[in-house]
Every structure is written in C-alpha cells, then in structure tokens.
Structure 1
C-alpha cells in the first residue's frame, strides 16, 4: 500500500495524520508513505521527527480583505497543483488523504485530476475553507462532529472520529506526574492554552495562582514558551506556600499526562477534545476567539450539550469564573463522575480503525 498524506498549518491538522500513518504501518509493515506539506508550516518540524518521508510545495492563504497578495496566492495555488501532480506521479500512491490546511487543497485536488482515490478528514464542527472547496471532488469525507455533516454532500460523509483519540485511548495510568514534582495520588487539574499558550488564560492564571494554596487538589500549568518567564517569576514570588502548583513551559508527553489527571482546562481545538473524550475527562473549555467561524465555540458547545464540559467564553474569563468552574467539578465528586461518564460517551475510541476501513474500501 502506498499512501500520500497532506495537511498543515496547525497541530490539529497534523497529529491526526501522524496517528493514521502509525496505524497503517502496524497493519501493513511494508506500506510506503509520503507527506506533503510546506516549508514554513508546523508540519515541517513534526513530520521529519516522525521519520515520515516529507516533500514540500509552496502555497499561501487568501486574505479576507482586498489585498495585492491575493494575486500571488492565485499564482501559487495554480503552481502548487502542478508541483503536487509531479510528486504524485513520481510516488504513484494508491490513495491520497487530506487532513486540512491550505496545502492539502492543492494536493488532494491534483490527485482527483489524476483519478486517484481521495479522502479528506474534517476535525472540527465547522468545515474549513479548504475542505469545503475539496468536498465536490473527493470520494469520501470523514468527520468527527455530526454538526459538520450539513456542510458536505450527504452521500460522501462518514462519521469516523479523530485518529488521535484512538492513539491516546490506550494509554494506561502511570506515575508520570512525578516528573513534574506532583503526587500521582492527588486529584489533579491540568491547565494549558495549546502548544504556544494563550495570553488570556495566562493573564487570569497569574491573578489566580495564590488562590490554589489551600485547595485539596494540585495544578499542573503549561504556560507556553513565550509566557513562561513571566509566569514563573510570579509563581516563584509566592514561595513554598504554593507547592501544589507546578508551572512548565510545555508538556512533551501530553497524552501520558492526560491519562493521569482528573480535569482539563484549556482551549477547544478538535484534537484536544478528541483526546479528552477518548479518556473520558471532564473539561472546562475556553474557546479561542481567534479562529475561523468561531469553530472552537461550536466544538465546545457540542460537549456542553452532553454535560461533558463547562464552557467559559474568552470575554467572560476572570479569576472568579475560572476558579468557580474548577471548584464546581473538583469539589463535587458526583458532578465530576457524571461529566466523566458523559465525556467518555462522546469519545470515539476506534476512530483510526474507522478511517482505515474507509481507505481499504476505496483502494480495494
């Protein structure tokens, strides 16, 4: 089996693709892969580290306002289709899979024009611009949220879930919190704003740190690299009185940490929600306001509607709303257990297998 995967821009597009590649490798050890991305995108750092052959094309997104750069965008899009065709003809894939981001628009469209089976994967509850464009050309569309089905041709849509969920779901409890100076047997809240952090969450956390002093739970807080020095200075100024709070810039082994905490506080990106629900974790979600079509709010609302999460809007995020939301879950065992069960019911733990079966169907 020869598989070409494309997706880029954010981890939410890249990590599901990596999970899928890993799964197919287990099923077909002799399978061959190539990942097509951009030189500047996050995929250029993540994919080579995964030992997946990596090729690049040049492309950029449209500006929403009238801008001369949009002429360059059109030129690059047309050129990128030609470049993608060259890569496809050389690699001769059995199937081409797009997981979102501008780069996969050119690649998947080029594959369609070369009569190669195609699948796109939509992680969010609102379809991305690229996937909306590709919907008319691809053979199948895998989705994670039922709400997004209406954005695509009904006959092409298949509910598969997020491959990242299946990878995380199998992780067992461990003493990993020891690595962060925390007690694995103490109830734990994980707070983070994504891989780069979130300014609004950090500002509120700086005001809230001392309030955790006498809580019967501990806090692991990932601030993001660019905010770490400021947060660390504030945290250290509180001295030993705050030994139940640990601050780190970034958590590399996030999936293992997630498997060992009780509640997650953070943004509502699709991959994060897939990980959270696969483990049946209650969550307090603070959707980012800086995303296309406010899709994180819609992502979060899907869990709120099932009583699996509490949503605090970014504009309403204060020390008081944050602490009261955390206490609402952590200090009420019945609430925490009910949210845990609801979250678990929303998780799709065999997502990668579902997407794999779709691929097999198209390549048989």
Structure 2
C-alpha cells in the first residue's frame, strides 16, 4: 500500500497521539520539524486531543474513535468496538495519504492508527515520553520497527526489544529550547529569589495548600527576597492569594500563563509535578527543581521520571505523602542557602537535557520509506530495564 519515496523526496507521515498535552506536545514538535524538512504530516487523535492548544496551523487533525480496555465486560466490548472502528477509519486514511511511517506517542487514541499501520505493513515507530513504558506502547513494542525513548532507563521495556530502542529524548517547545544557551539567572545573597510553581495543565491543590506556608518558613535571608509565580486551580486561587498576603510574600497567581517560557527563563527554582514535558523543559533550560510526583499517575511513572535528574543533583523529589510545609522549607534551604548551590544544581539538570530530541526523532522516522534507518543514539541492551509487566502486556494483547 505504501509508496516508497527516495531520499530527499517529500514524504507523508502520520502522527498518532492520546488527547493530553504530555502526548501531543512532542507530537506537535515532531510535526513542525518534519514540515520544515518539506514533508507532509497528519495527526490522528481523539476529540479531546483536537482541542489541545499549540497545534501547528498546517497540521490536519483526524479524530478517530478510541476506546479504553477495562476489566468491565460491557466497557471492554464497547472499547474493542471503538478501536476496531478507528482502525478501519485509519486504513481508509492511509489509502489516500500513503504514509511512509506512522509514529505513535502513546495513549489509547494512538492504538487504532498503529494497528491499522501494522495491518497495512506500513513502518511504525513509537515514542515513549516517560521513564515507564505506557500500557499501549507496551502492547505495540513487539510489532513496531523502532522504539524511541526519552530516558536512559525505561521500566517495563522488555530487554528483548533493546535492539530497536533509540534514545532521542522528549521534544520540547522551540521557545523553551531557545533558552538552553542562556546563563542561569544571577543569584546572590542580595538578589531576588524567584520561585515558579506549577502543577501541570490542571494545577494541583496540594501545591496550593503546602507551598505558601512552606515558603513562609524559610529563614528571613531567603524569605524576604522571594518573588513567587504560582499556577493554581480556579477553585484554589483566592485561598492561595490570601495565604501569600498573610505571609507578606509577593506572589503572582493565575490559572494559566501563556508566557511560561519567559517565566521559566527567570526562575531560580521550580516546584511542581514531574510530568514528562516538565522534566524535559527543566533539563533543556537547566533549572533546579523540587519535584512532587503525582501519586495516582499510571505505574507511578512520574516518580520514575525524577530519577535521572535527582541522581545528577539537579532536583530533589518529595513524595506527596511527605510533602509538608516543613519538608519543603527544609529542601529549599538545602539547595538555596549557599548562593552557589542553585547554580550547581542548574548545571546538573542542564547536563541531563537532550536538546536534539526533535531532530533525532525526525532523523529516525525519516529513515523509513527512504534512506536506511538512521541509527540515532542506540541504548545499550544492558541498560534496558527488566520487563515487570509481561503478563499485563499479554493480557492487553489478548483483549485487543
């Protein structure tokens, strides 16, 4: 079915991603890079994903049915029906679009497209943003042609697939990547201490209840120099504002900040969740962090995401059960009481960054349907984490 273009000739690529920012931000970045190289790109997602901000104007989004596979028999049957319907629709799209490769970014909306590509014998690549291979990507790992990862260690990645694993990193927004060459903001005993607090796209109430009181417990030498920017849930906004006012700490609060890149550029310390895009941006720019992994994240993947940055000395991780004002103040003091400490942590985090992620991922997928597969940075088989979910992946395969 698929055309076989020659190297240097414009090709068609289909990106398939779940309907969250974590899946779609790297997909948008890859689409932009492939478009800049002269290729045609289409997106497959669900209704929620089609509304995510940041989609490039040139990128056409195709909304396909995508059911979830749960244990409830009725829900399972409904999910399988939606997946099969989405697979059929994807096959019809491929007949007209003729993709050289289909790239999946995880999430159930990506599953029908990848199943259709497998049926049509179109080359496939999956990209895993987290340090734990997601459920859909675990199911697809055996059949795809390449697995692109964002971390050196990825849990639940079967060692048998190490030969097709490529460490590329997690693509970030161009405006964030542009900050990589800028120095860490000056921080001394007399300078402002700018703290950026976010809890992901939806905010986090735990940050609203802990961070203001934790910052108030800092020694006067730090507390009197604070300048805080904090993203809050709408329902938490006024309570957080009152807390900061009571502590006499200047704080700019909002439910969403469009200029997040510039705020990250000026920050001396980040406090927040450990989603894949957050870690990628922190390491791209080089910003010290105190990370509070989301406890209900699937397979505890946010905790796994913190490992490399914490081990390098660029961040500290606090489990939500132990995230108290006292513990937060203690960790901030350990990082910031010595003016050089934050600078060292920033450099350590910066060293964890993979700034060529989008270029390396584009090189990888360009290798299909044209020149031989480019061997990007291949992960040594010895670094692949043991497969702890073989039975779970097998169960998903049986369900689908």
Query: Aligned runs of 1:230-249 on 2, under 5 Å?
Result: 230-236=239-245, 238=246, 241-243=248-250, 245-249=251-255
Q: Secondary structure at the match of 1:298?
A: helix
The CA deviation at 1:283 is: 0.8
- Residue 45 of structure 1 corresponds to 52
- Superposed CA deviations along residues 127-166 of structure 1, whole A, max 9, x for unmatched, are 0001011111211110011211760411110010011176
Give the alignment partner of residue 225 of structure 1, picking from 229, 234, 255: 234
Aligned counterpart in structure 2 of residue 78 of structure 1, from 81, 84, 90: 84
3-state SS of 1:242 partner:
coil
Q: Structure 1 residue 347: deviation in Å?
A: 0.4
Q: What's 1:55 paired with?
A: 62
Q: Is the 8 A contact 1:197 1:222 kept in 2?
A: yes
Give the SS at the match of 2:345: helix
SS of match in other structure, 1:148: coil
Out of 182, 193, 201, the position equivalent to 1:187 is 193
- SS at the partner of 1:363? coil
Which secondary structure state, in structure 1, belongs to the residue aligned with residue 368 of structure 2?
A: helix
TM-score normalised to structure 1 length: 0.88
Separation in 1, partners of 2:116, 2:200:
32
TM-aligned CA distance change 1:172 to 1:159, over 3 Å: closer
Aligned residues: 348
- Structure holding more helix per residue: 1
Is 1:158 the counterpart of 2:166? The answer is yes
Correspondence 1:92-131 to 2 at 5 A: 92-131=98-137
**Hey, what's the Cα distance between the residues in 2 that align with 1:167 and 1:133?**
34
CA displacement 1:106-143 (0-9 Å, x = unmatched): 10121121121211100111000010111112111100
Equivalence for 2:379: none
For 1:206 and 1:334, locate their aligned partners in 2 and report how far apart those are by CA, in whole Å. Answer: 24
What TM-score results when the alignment is normalised by the length of structure 2?
A: 0.81
Matches within 5 A, 1:162-311: 162-164=170-172, 168-171=176-179, 186-208=192-214, 210-211=216-217, 214-236=223-245, 238=246, 241-243=248-250, 245-311=251-317
Distance 1:307 1:166, change over 3 A: farther
> How far does the alpha carbon of each residue in 1:62-104 deviate from its partner, in whole angstroms, 9 at most, with x for none?
23x4352122111111222111111222222222111111111
User: In structure 1, what is the Cα distance between the partners aligned to 2:72 and 2:153?
Assistant: 31
Tell me: CA distance 1:249–1:69, structure 2 relative to 1, closer, same or farther (3 Å): same
Higher relative contact order (CA 8 A, sep 6+): 2
Tell me which moved more, 208-217 or 197-206: 208-217
Note if 1:88 corresponds to 2:98: no
* Distance in 2 between residues matched to 1:242 and 1:200, nearest whole Å: 19
Aligned pair partner of 1:325 in 328, 331, 346 = 331
Distance 1:114 1:215 in 2: 63
Contact 1:165–1:278 (Cα < 8 Å) also in 2: no
Q: Could you list the runs of 5+ residues in structure 1 that have no partner in the other structure?
A: 178-184
**Does the 8 Å contact 2:141/2:147 carry over to 1?**
yes
* Deviation, structure 1 residue 209: 6.0
How many Å separate the matches in 2 of 1:328 and 1:43?
Answer: 43
Q: CA deviation at 1:226?
A: 4.2
CA contact (8 A) 1:3 1:95 kept: yes
* Conserved 8 A contact 2:213-2:243: no
